[in-house]
Structure 1
């Protein structure tokens, strides 16, 4: 029975290799792995020869039949298709029409070979893109050797791959590295630009070791030209906290962004943990915010006790969220949270007489003032979601829950007291019912 495309498509592999014939010596061989290979048998001068044409569906049923017809004509004229495939010379006495057919037959084999070579080159080229090599390096080197591989993954996905992911790794230049770091610096994240350069430096060093490139473009960019590495020692004074919050509430930024910055100070969380918050994480009855582990730096869930002020701010934000699942939905798409750079941009636009700081310094500010007020260091470290070594660090997301709740309420009241100026309270808004009833 002659083969059909439907039948070819539906043939399933078996435990052993088997064949399905189309007649005239043409058959398809079904391999145990599922490959379907066209082959042909013919007899020449009493001797059987077998030749492979290629795989189905790369070679269609119609093309395979054309091969069979060509082979049949050549065999009838005493010419071996196998010999032609090897490139044997054609006798000059061969009939012109048969010689033309043999030449066409040979040319088609050449085209097939060229196509295979091109496919292999394309496969090799794809394997040497920055994106392909990045994930090889991440899996083999960065992830096993780093205590926080998710941070490196964020850098790669957010800033590196969108910029140079499709480039061949050996084509990356110093200019490519500078464009990446300059773009990060433009959003006010100089230290992140420096970290990104360091990640690229390690990536390209690995590429050199694997003989994929001979020059490290990231190493050519000195760290001092990106940012000055500094220990994060900035902690705002109580007076600076008050001046900063007054400037925030007197500014023209969106109300939700004002509340976000205030919550960063009160809740002692990282910016990424706050802007990706969803309403399903907020328990208004218990005044608690449960952050899942996949959003935490240490991959462990974290429980934040909400002060009266913080709970009231979340109440107001609920009304501002327009039904979105996100606490801080994007203005252009309620199904997405605000961009990671949104709050940085808002802070840079402030006119405030406060020394140079970044949003992450809010956590150090809270920690410094709480320590100075005499609160237990373990409570503070737990509120910051820091990992404590040894027996004291045994994980429990609700550890010191009551102490932390009291401590965070004291901190919220302390911050409130700093917002006062010589003329009384700056108008910051009533927030929500929870705060009004407690005031």
Structure 2
């Protein structure tokens, strides 16, 4: 019987390095992976027939055959050996078939195991979800080259009919990348997703949603009265006050803040821009940040993950917190906070004669010193406006029914 071995993982296999001489690492059930001096990794099957150890049977190149597929083949060969049949001829035929009639399900498995190895966990998760939920149930059993553009269109239409045009386009793009991978390895002769134009799948209207003052107040009151963690309540309130992107806030570090001078400097590297961004903080935001600093769950991140202080909360955390509240705000997403703030700030500035007709958002007309003074007035005016809406919402909620 084959010697028992601890099953390998994809990460362990990727980590195997070449040595001066080639060597084998066992996965179990007779399956081994041989690492050549060149770095090439080849699946082999080790077996004994009629009491005699036989030469290794070759299954195929690791780059072309995933761990799951290699295990399935090893199982098939082990069953043949148990019947007293040599698997060598079958293994040879299987290797010849690898590049001829591979079905899409196994090709997708190979793609996920190899091409996705260096990608982020979130990227791998969304790719796998698109394949497992919509693509493979529909066409996973088809040979690679039997999949057509009509198949892709049908899958995307089905997703759009669920009310998810963005997911439809994402799924088309996943299939497109999968086939580009297969073509590069001569496993596919064409890319059926490439001939399906993106514009034929989904067109997106630009969002124009702006919350009214009352909606701002009611939302913040509901957040404040909820049972979600205090840091998340403060994060949502700060998102309104600072007018920054969600990722800018949740990934912020304490080193970026000068609370004594009410300044937040977002590094250019984090923004993928040519220079740092200066955010002037109203006194309400400074108070919230000081509260967070006193608690200081992490030495580095303002909003650390509950799983450890060496990383920030996930970008989706705030979305999930708001969704869990079940707020009665029609067609709202968190990104609407920025558009809402911009709209209300313009209205506040236009109604304030002390700005002498200069647009508060037109920095080119001001000296750096005047711009800083003006920006501080703007953010403080906006924060005061938000406070007024929140207080109004609290008063309305406390009135007897």
State whether TM-score is above 0.5.
Answer: yes
2:387 to 416, 422, 430: 416
Aligned to 2:311: 336
* Matched residue, 1:129: 111
SS of the residue 1:421 aligns to: helix
| Contact 2:306/2:313 (8 A) holds in 1 | yes
Tell me the secondary structure at the aligned position of residue 349 of structure 1.
Answer: helix
Residues 1:57 and 2:30 aligned together:
no
Query: Is 1:175 matched with 2:146?
Result: no
Task: Give the Cα separation in 2 of the matches to 1:270 and 1:219.
Answer: 35
Within 2, Cα distance between the matches of 1:289 and 1:405? 12
1:404 aligns with 2:379: no
**Residue 276 of structure 1: how far off its partner (Å):** 0.8
Instruction: Please say if 1:233 is aligned against 2:194.
Output: no
Q: Does the alignment pair 1:358 with 2:333?
A: yes
Partner of 1:276: 251
- What is the aligned-residue RMSD (CA, Å)? 4.8
> Are 1:315 and 2:290 counterparts?
yes
In the alignment, is the contact (CA less than 8 A) between 1:201 and 1:219 conserved in 2? Answer: no
The yes-or-no answer on 1:197 pairing with 2:171 is yes
Give unmatched runs, 5+ long, in structure 2.
Answer: 1-17, 24-54, 67-106, 140-154, 351-356
Provide the C-alpha distance between the structure 1 equivalents of 2:138 and 2:197, rounded to a whole number of angstroms.
8
- In the alignment, structure 1 residue 259 sits paired with structure 2 residue 234: yes
- Quickly say closer, same or farther: Cα 1:160–1:424, change in 2 above 3 A: closer
In structure 2, how many angstroms separate the alpha carbons of the residues matched to 1:193 and 1:398?
A: 47
CA offset at residue 196 of structure 1?
Answer: 3.5
1:47 alignment counterpart: none
Deviations 1:125-150 (A, max 9, x none): 58973576579xxxxxxxxxxxxxxx
Distance 2:270 2:166 in 1: 18
Using the TM superposition, give the Cα deviation of residue 175 of structure 1 relative to its aligned residue in structure 2, in angstroms.
3.5
Distance change (3 Å), C-alpha of 1:423 and 1:284: closer
Deviation per residue, 1:61-94 (Å, 9 max, x gap): xxxxxxxxxxxxxxxxxxxxxxxxxxxxxxxxxx
Give the alignment of 1:205-220 within 5 angstroms.
206-207=180-181, 210=184, 212-213=187-188, 214=190, 216=192
Q: Deviations over 1:246-302 (max 9, x none)?
A: 111111111111110010011011111111111111111221111112322546421
Bigger shift: residues 327-336 or 271-280: 327-336
Runs (4+) of structure 1 exceeding 6 A deviation are: 189-192, 217-225, 396-399
Aligned residues: 278
Using a 3 Å threshold, how does the CA distance of structure 1 residues 426 and 322 change in structure 2: closer, same or farther?
A: farther
1:157 matched residue in structure 2: 120
Residue 7 of structure 1 corresponds to which residue in structure 2? none
Q: Deviations over 1:286-345 (max 9, x none)?
A: 211111123225464211111101111100111222343110112231222112221111
Secondary structure of the residue aligned to 1:327 is coil
Q: Which has the larger radius of gyration?
A: 1
Corresponding residue for 2:80?
Answer: none
Give me the whole-angstrom Cα distance separating, in 1, the residues matched to 2:217 and 2:301: 29
Q: TM-score, normalised by structure 2?
A: 0.55
The secondary structure found in structure 2 opposite 1:336 is strand
Q: 1:234 touches 1:361 (CA, 8 Å); kept in 2?
A: yes
Unaligned 5+ segments in structure 1 are 1-54, 61-110, 136-152, 383-391, 428-439
Q: Distance in 2 between matches of 1:175 and 1:407?
A: 53
Shift in Å at residue 200 of structure 1?
2.6
* SS of 1:290 mapped into structure 2: strand
- The one of 280, 290, 297 equivalent to 1:305 is 280
Tell me the secondary structure at the aligned position of residue 285 of structure 2.
Answer: helix
Equivalent position of 1:42 in the other structure: none
Cα distance between partner residues in 1 of 2:347 and 2:381? 13
SS of the residue aligned with 1:304? strand
Judging changes above 3 Å, is the alpha-carbon distance between structure 1 residues 273 and 190 closer, same or farther for their aligned structure 2 residues? farther
**Structure 1 Cα separation of the partners of residues 177 and 279 of structure 2:** 37
Q: 1: CA distance between counterparts of 2:258 and 2:297? A: 19
| Distance in structure 2 (CA, Å) of the matches to 1:176 and 1:402 | 60
**In structure 2, what is the Cα distance between the partners aligned to 1:58 and 1:228?**
56
* Residue-by-residue CA offset, 1:45-64 (whole Å, 9 max, x unaligned): xxxxxxxxxx982269xxxx
- Change beyond 3 A, Cα 1:423–1:281: closer
